[in-house]
Amino acid sequence: MNTYLACFPCFVRQAYDAARFATDDKTIHERVLRDVLHTAATMDMHLTPPEMGQFIHKRIRELTGNADPYHEVKKRFNRLALDFYPNLQRRIHSHADPLAMAVRLAIAGNIIDFGPRCDIPVETVRDSIDSALTASIDMNALVSLRSEINSAKTILFLGDNAGEIVFDKLLLEILPCEKISYVVKGAPIINDATMDDAVEVGLTDLVEVIDNGADVPGTILPQCSEAFRARFETADLVIAKGQGNYESLSDVDINIVFLLKAKCPVIAEHLHCPVGSMVIAGTRNNP
């Protein structure tokens, strides 16, 4: 997905919010803002939005000297999600269609995204879970996903954020894990999950976890490691969580299913759905 003009006001707001999240130093806030304004003024619209996200957060890390400003917040949301975990696990296992319930919850967990906004109250996560239980989802896409999962020999599951990774674990627990590899980011970027988070929430005990070698809030293939790209290209099915993965992979010709909450108007329009929708969207074999 290209960058849209509507993304630019959001880039600048995100840069300002993220700079204030990372430091109280106003000279750094100004430096980040001016660098982002300057870069956006000449940005190639064929780049995907996560590339601007990468630039913003790289500048913040450089200027603050803090390699991982979201370290604490990632731990906090992992703990919060682990608090929810036993209850959600019971819900899934007692449900008539555990896969449907687990997919709903995996999408609900995608609310824990510090890209669009830097203040996610616990209540918002709770509301996202509650609404996921009854919100409308594309049942045809779910049926198709089920069949894809059954027929695939190798599945790559691209994770998104810390905290959200616990919701993915709930889904993975009812999937054939022996043929699945779960992918985290290669280095800290916003609150995206890295190997630390996968270990912390016990995902590494359940499934093979690999990293993609990149620090992009999405999956920009040329920036990923060769090892990851080889796995990506040969997987029978890719399941990709979140907006960043959708933005960076929606034009890639591969068998892929996106699971996400459409949190921004540009993505909602791209997906022809209202903002806030729970999305199961495929590009090739799925509708």
Q: Which residues bind a copy of itself (CB under 8 A)?
A: 5-6, 8-9, 12-13, 16, 26, 29-30, 33-34, 37-38, 40-42, 45
Cα–Cα distance between 259 and 277 in angstroms, integer? 11
Q: Using CB atoms within 10 A of its CB, is residue 150 exposed (0-12), middle (13-18) or buried (19+)? A: exposed
Q: Which is nearer to a copy of itself, 6 or 133 (CB)?
A: 6
How many whole angstroms separate alpha carbon 164 and alpha carbon 174? 17
Rounded to a whole number of angstroms, the minimum distance from the CB of residue 45 to a copy of itself is 8
Radius of gyration of the chain (CA): 18
Specify the residue, 5 or 96, whose C-beta has the smaller distance to a copy of itself: 5
What's the closest the beta carbon of residue 25 comes to a copy of itself, in angstroms?
Answer: 12
Q: Where are the alpha helices (DSSP H) in 190-276?
A: 195-200, 226-234, 242-249, 265-270
Q: How far is the CB of 280 from a copy of itself (least distance, A)?
A: 31
Best CA proximity match to 62, nearest among 173, 204, 215:
215
Question: Coil, helix or strand for 228?
Answer: helix
Residue in 140, 175, 139 with CA at minimum distance from that of residue 156 = 175
- SS3 category, 173: coil
Nearer to a copy of itself, 6 or 275 (CB): 6
When the beta carbons of 42 and 136 are compared against a copy of itself, the nearer one is: 42
Closest separation in Å from C-beta 16 to a copy of itself: 5
> Any residues with CB less than 8 A from the CB of 27 and at least 6 apart, and which?
none
13 vs 90 by CB, closer to a copy of itself: 13
Nearer to a copy of itself, 26 or 90 (CB): 26
Instruction: State the nearest-atom distance from the C-beta of 15 to a copy of itself, in Å.
Output: 8
Helix (H, G, I), strand (E, B) or coil at 257: strand
**Smallest distance from a copy of itself to CB 190, Å:** 18
Q: At its nearest, how many Å lie between a copy of itself and the CB of residue 6?
A: 7
Residue tagged 């509507």 (tokens): 6
- Nearest CB to a copy of itself, comparing residues 15 and 92: 15
φ/ψ of 72, rounded to 5, equals: -65, -40
